[in-house]
Structures are given as structure tokens and as C-alpha cells.
Amino acid sequence: MDTQLSRWSRKLTHDLGITAAHSRRLATVIASEVCALPQSSKARLLAAGKVPLQDRLAEIRAFDAWMGVASGAGIRSLVRAQVITQNYICFVYLRDDWFYVLHEVAPLGSATSRSARFLTQDPVRAFRNAFSHGNWRYRADFAALQFRARRNGKGPQVEWEVEQTELDFWQLLSRTLAYASIQTLAEAAA
């Protein structure tokens, strides 16, 4: 995942404030930071939510297998199912019981903390809420998703849009953060 995400190095540095050196090997950095967490923080992560860590890891692995099957098929209905599955896993399934707790226990300013914070704030937060409540659609050219959500969860709903390239970045960051942290804890717990 380091290699996949390294193409987004400038964005990680600019948008998240991750150092240039860390942005080129973010999965490895996150794994190291999670490994170095105090035992109490690891215990809090292991107790997060109602889904045991091994079950969450199995679900992410099954998701990756599905992505391998669905990618490149070129069948519109399969692509749409892939979009729904990918957005659910990356922004709904992982957020509340994993990314929020990870942000709370990771050292302030760490790559882990910055990644988790990015994935739980607007515009990703707004997209997650709109997606989980069915307030989204494809743009006419299918190069973006349009959605309606409140800014910072307050006020009236407004129209948002996320281009496919930005969404690709969000999804890859989500998968990287999840894999690096969950896999690290699963190995430590074994």
C-alpha cells in the first residue's frame, strides 16, 4: 500500500500535513505508530465497537477479494455495485468504530492521527453521511458523485460534489489506514 499511496504524496503533505518522508511510506509509518501505542490504547482499539478485530480484518480481506473480481470487468451494473461496496466499507463500516477511536488514541500530529482526522471531517464526513442516508447520485458524465449534506453537521443541507480522482484518494487512504492499523493490532494480539 505504500507504493499505491505514494503517488498521492503531495496531497498527503499539503492536505493532511504529513511529512514528505512519511507520505511516501504511509502504511509502514501507520503500522509503526500503532505498534508503538501504549497497551491501554491498544486495548481501547481492540474493544472499539461490537465487531471483533479478526472479524473486521476478515471483512476487509473479503472486500479486497471482491475488488479484484469486480475491477476491470467493464459491466455497468458490476461497476455500480463496486462503487456502493467500496464507499460503504471505506466510509461507513470503518469510520465510527475504528477511525474515531484511532484518532483519539494516536499521538496528536502523528500520521495516524492526521489520516484518521481527515477521514472523519468534512468533506469526507459529509460524503459519508450523504452516502449512508441515500443522498447521492452520479454526475451526468459519471466522473463525480454529487451529494447533499450539512456542513460540519449543522445548518441546511447543501449540494457537494466529489470528483472520481479525489474519491479514489479518499478510498485508498481509508483502506491504507484500516489495513495498516488493524493488521498491526491483529498480529500483536496473535
pTM above 0.85, yes or no: yes
Residue 30 confidence (pLDDT)? 97
Per-residue pLDDT tens digits for 107-120: 999 999 999 999 99
Assess contact for 151 and 158: CB atoms under 8 A: yes
What cell numbers appear for 8 in the block?
Answer: 498521492
Q: What are the tens digits of pLDDT across the range 133-145?
A: 999 999 999 899 9
Name every residue whose Cβ is closer than 8 Å to that of residue 87 and which is 6 or more positions away in sequence: 127, 131, 171
pLDDT of residue 37: 96
